[in-house]
Amino acid sequence: MTSASRSLTLFHSITREGHFVSACATCDGFFFRNKEVVVVGGGNTAVEEALYLANLASKVTLVHRRDHLRAERVMQERLFKHPKIEVVWDSAIAEICGGTQPPNVTHLRLTNTKTGVESELKADGVFIAIGHKPATELFVDQLVMRDSGYIDVEPGTTRTNVPGVFAAGDVTDEHYRQAVTAAGLGCMAALDAERWLAAGELDQREAAE
């Protein structure tokens, strides 16, 4: 199972999603080589995306609705020191603007969260990095979960609190959320399940003797 990126509640962000509006810098960053991009968010995910995109884009602007970031201090220091990254504080996206033939992004309309004053920001692409929501609603009140909604597993395994139930992929991984790490966790889950079944068969044979 997986997790979904949280989206902005904007009509224009929905209609342009997939057309220069993305939630994955490692997936789509190469489309914006030598272009100006905007990252929306203030946590670790947003800072990681901005730093990654700075290796590709000509300029990265991080837009955050508050006057401080939630990201870890060491990551903030890297962000503030990077010559290609700027931060726009106390601002929220009111509209993602661009053309339709072909679909593209030209600029953003921002609203200052403290004063209400609007401004425009040039952008060739937008990356939404306001967190992920794991697809775990099905298991609420059945499996132990962390406060963030991710399924809790025993350290170093994929075992949940329910015997015979194993969890892998983005429903347990809050940090990496990559296909390769999900595949690795899937392999771990398969091995854990195989061993659990083998142990059960052994117990049955011993009980029958």
Q: What is the pLDDT of residue 14?
A: 40
Band of pLDDT at residue 16, cut at 50, 70 and 90: very low
Band of pLDDT at residue 203, cut at 50, 70 and 90: confident
For residue 208, being part of any structural domain is answered with no
Q: Which residues are catalytic?
A: 24, 27-28
Residues in contact with 95: Cβ distance below 8 Å, sequence separation at least 6, in sequence order? 10, 12, 108, 109
> Which contacts (CB < 8 Å, 24+ apart) does range 178-181 have?
178/26
- 18, pLDDT greater than 90: no
Please report, as a single letter, which amino acid is at residue 205.
Answer: R
The residue from 102, 128, 154 where one domain ends is 128
pTM for the model stands at 0.70
For residue 48, being part of any structural domain is answered with yes
Q: Do 119 and 183 have their domain in common?
A: no
Q: Do 122 and 166 have their domain in common?
A: no
CA 188 → CA 166, 168, 180, distances in Å? 9, 8, 13
Band of pLDDT at residue 103, cut at 50, 70 and 90: confident
Decide which of 184 and 176 is more confident: 184
How many folded domains does the chain comprise?
Answer: 2
Q: Are strands 59-63 and 36-40 parallel, antiparallel or unpaired?
A: parallel
- 12, pLDDT greater than 60: no
Residues in contact with 22: Cβ distance below 8 Å, sequence separation at least 6, in sequence order? 28, 125, 126, 127, 128
